[in-house]
């Protein structure tokens, strides 16, 4: 399809920003590349850039429609003007700490600081792919989806252990469907089951619960993040219809009773060629 015949490259927001820049490559469905990237991710679960490669290789058919409907709505226009760059907001911990104790902002800072993470760090991981950037609405939508990932962890209660990451991915699929989330989420869960073979922990129950929660909750990336951060964490969870992750916590309880460290599943047995993907 040429740029001139692409309806998205001829669609503009009220401020003149094009929906999809004419030079932006058309998304290509590359399942073999996705599988190879997933296999590499299993071997090196810390290489977050492989996650982005998987998503790029399995584009959603409805992606551009979701981008258009969100970014070109009055609400989307407002968020673009008031929250153009979430990492600047999320990495200003001094400002976030000035909110009341018990707020989402305090919980977010606690999580990021305890894990040694930053929103800018996630940006750097995505940029390791070296993909070109374009001044279009697609760029803003992709960035906002990426930059809310760690907020998902805080709001859902899923940690950065292997199972917690699969749960967040499937929660995200419930919010914004893509085959990449399904591949990593369910294949990763299957690999966890393999690593803790014989355990009674309801691994698939946990990821299915996360999937249902994501489907039932309003879109997080469509929320005014600045405003959410100032509110009590439990109030935000209630308003977004995010229940306690009971199945995930049950897995942790059972594993701990079985002498298995949920944050170090590989320690339960000698290393094998296939590792747990996170």
Is 108 within the bounds of a domain?
A: yes
Whether 7 shows a pLDDT value over 60: the answer reads yes
Is 14 within the bounds of a domain?
A: yes
Distance in angstroms (rounded) separating the CA atoms of residues 18 and 139 = 10
Whether 11 shows a pLDDT value over 60: the answer reads yes
Domain assignment of residue 20, given as a range: 3-268
Is 208 within the bounds of a domain?
A: yes
User: Do residues 100 and 128 make contact, with C-beta atoms less than 8 angstroms apart?
Assistant: no
Mean pLDDT of 198-203: 95
Number of domains in the chain: 1
Q: What are the tens digits of pLDDT across the range 68-110? A: 999 999 999 999 999 999 999 999 999 999 999 999 999 999 9
Mean pLDDT of 52-81: 90
C-alpha closest to that of 180 among 70, 21, 27: 27
Is 273 within the bounds of a domain?
A: no
Confidence (pLDDT) at 115 = 95
Contacts within 8 Å (CB) and 24+ apart, 63-66? 63/27, 63/178, 64/8, 64/19, 64/20, 64/138, 66/141, 66/176
pTM comes to 0.85
Is 46 within the bounds of a domain?
A: yes
Is 170 within the bounds of a domain?
A: yes
Is 147 within the bounds of a domain?
A: yes
Q: What are the tens digits of pLDDT across the range 129-166? A: 788 999 999 999 999 999 999 999 999 999 999 999 99
Distance of alpha carbon 44 from its chain centroid, rounded? Answer: 18
């Amino acid at each position: 399809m040429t740029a001139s015949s692409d309806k998205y490259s001829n669609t503009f927001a009220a401020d003149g920003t094009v929906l999809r820049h004419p030079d932006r490559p058309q998304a290509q469905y590359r399942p073999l590349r996705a599988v190879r990237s997933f296999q590499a991710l299993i071997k090196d679960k810390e290489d977050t850039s492989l996650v982005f490669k998987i998503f790029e290789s399995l584009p959603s058919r409805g992606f551009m429609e979701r981008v258009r409907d969100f970014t070109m709505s009055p609400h989307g226009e407002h968020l673009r003007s008031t929250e153009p760059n979430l990492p600047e907001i999320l990495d200003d911990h001094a400002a976030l700490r000035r909110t009341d104790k018990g707020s989402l902002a305090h919980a977010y800072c606690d999580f990021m600081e305890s894990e040694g993470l930053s929103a800018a760090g996630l940006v750097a991981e995505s940029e390791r792919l070296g993909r070109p950037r374009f001044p279009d609405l697609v760029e803003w939508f992709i960035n906002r989806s990426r930059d809310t990932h760690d907020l998902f962890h805080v709001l859902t209660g899923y940690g950065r252990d292997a199972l917690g990451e699969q749960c967040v991915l499937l929660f995200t699929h419930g919010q914004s469907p893509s085959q990449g989330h399904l591949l990593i989420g369910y294949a990763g869960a299957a690999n966890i089951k393999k690593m803790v073979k014989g355990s009674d922990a309801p691994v698939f129950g946990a990821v299915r619960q996360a999937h249902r929660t994501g489907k039932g909750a309003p879109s997080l990336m469509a929320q005014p993040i600045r405003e959410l951060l100032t509110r009590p964490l439990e109030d935000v969870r209630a308003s977004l219809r995010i229940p306690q992750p009971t199945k995930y916590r049950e897995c942790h309880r059972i594993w701990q009773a079985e002498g298995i460290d949920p944050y170090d599943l590989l320690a339960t047995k000698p290393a094998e060629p296939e590792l747990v993907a996170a």
